[in-house]
Amino acid sequence: DIQMTQSPSSLSASVGDRVTITCRASQSISSYLNWYQQKPGKAPKLLIYGVSSLQSGVPSRFSGSGSGTDFTLTISSLQPEDFATYYCQQSYIARTFGQGTKVEIK
Amino acid sequence: EVQLVESGGGLVQPGGSLRLSCAASGFTVSTNYMSWVRQAPEKGLEWVSIIYSGGSTYYADSVKGRFTISRDNSKNTLYLQMDSLRAEDTAVYYCARVRVTTTYDTFDIWGQGTMVTVSS
């Protein structure tokens, strides 16, 4: 099984901050890496697919990068509506999610 | 509008069974890969099962042999039959469409979720 490890597990940030979340796979997953945003009581929402492609309707302040085993989600200027939990997910072999990163208000 | 609506969740005793449904609108279930993902209370997301457009099915080790994914093309609906339920199966269950190409594979449409509680 491919394990996905996110860091940090949580972070506190202010509106306007640049936020970076990392995701490491236990083996190479090519470009099969996606990012989701989840707010309390709601279903996850697709943000980024295929490492760096922005899902339609997602603001351009979200971006993804990386290759092989190491990947990053960046929010260039944190907005009030971005406080949520973020998950990475691989689909190279079966499908596995990271444990999540909770972005909280500082 | 492209939409998924789950139903069928509830309270069930350990060892019992439950069937979840996921009705799709705005697209055709049978021509897409479809999946179930669950989330235990205050926990992260866990992939459960997938059915390919060709009919092949795959399961997480945690549910293999107990859960069965299927679809009814005439109703444009996805199902998850859950048998021999355990307390650790307690979770919100989401159905999701899987968008697949040669370079990526992602859950692009999600339902709102249905809660399953396994308890005596």
CA angle A2, A18, A99 (to 5 degrees): 25
**pLDDT given for residue B27 in this prediction:** 98
At B102, is the pLDDT very low, low, confident or very high (cuts 50, 70, 90)? confident
At B103, is the pLDDT very low, low, confident or very high (cuts 50, 70, 90)? confident
Question: DSSP assignment, residue A93?
Answer: S
* DSSP-assigned states of every residue in B9-70: -EEE-TT--EEEEEEEESS-GGGSEEEEEEE-TT--EEEEEEE-TTS-EEE-TTTTTTEEEE
Cβ separation A98–B50 shorter than 8 A: no
For A63-90, write each residue's pLDDT tens digit.
Answer: 999 999 999 999 999 999 999 999 999 9
Compute how many other C-beta atoms are within 10 angstroms of the C-beta atom of residue A103. Answer: 21
To the nearest whole Å, the CA of B23 is away from the closest chain A CA by: 16
Compute how many other C-beta atoms are within 10 angstroms of the C-beta atom of residue B115. Answer: 14
To the nearest whole Å, the CA of B44 is away from the closest chain A CA by: 6
Cβ separation B47–A43 shorter than 8 A: no
Q: What is the mean pLDDT of chain B?
A: 97
Pairwise CA distance, residues A63 & A67, whole Å: 14
Residue carrying the six token digits 């090519």: A30
**pLDDT given for residue B59 in this prediction:** 97
Closest CA to B66 of B56, B81, B51, B55: B81
Pairwise CA distance, residues B80 & B4, whole Å: 14
Report the residue from B45, B104, B105 with minimal CB separation from A44: B45
Instruction: Please determine, for residue B45, whether its predicted confidence score (pLDDT) is greater than 90.
Output: yes
Q: Identify whether the C-beta of residue B93 lies closer than 8 Å to the C-beta of residue B114.
A: yes
Pairwise CA distance, residues A61 & A38, whole Å: 17
Pairwise CA distance, residues A94 & B52, whole Å: 12
To the nearest whole Å, the CA of A77 is away from the closest chain B CA by: 24
For A9-43, write each residue's pLDDT tens digit.
Answer: 999 999 999 999 999 999 999 999 999 999 999 99
* Mean pLDDT to the nearest integer, A36-62: 98
For B104-117, write each residue's pLDDT tens digit.
Answer: 999 999 999 999 99
Residue carrying the six token digits 């990163």: A101
Q: Which residues of A touch B46 (CB under 8 A)?
A: 97
Cβ separation B107–A89 shorter than 8 A: yes
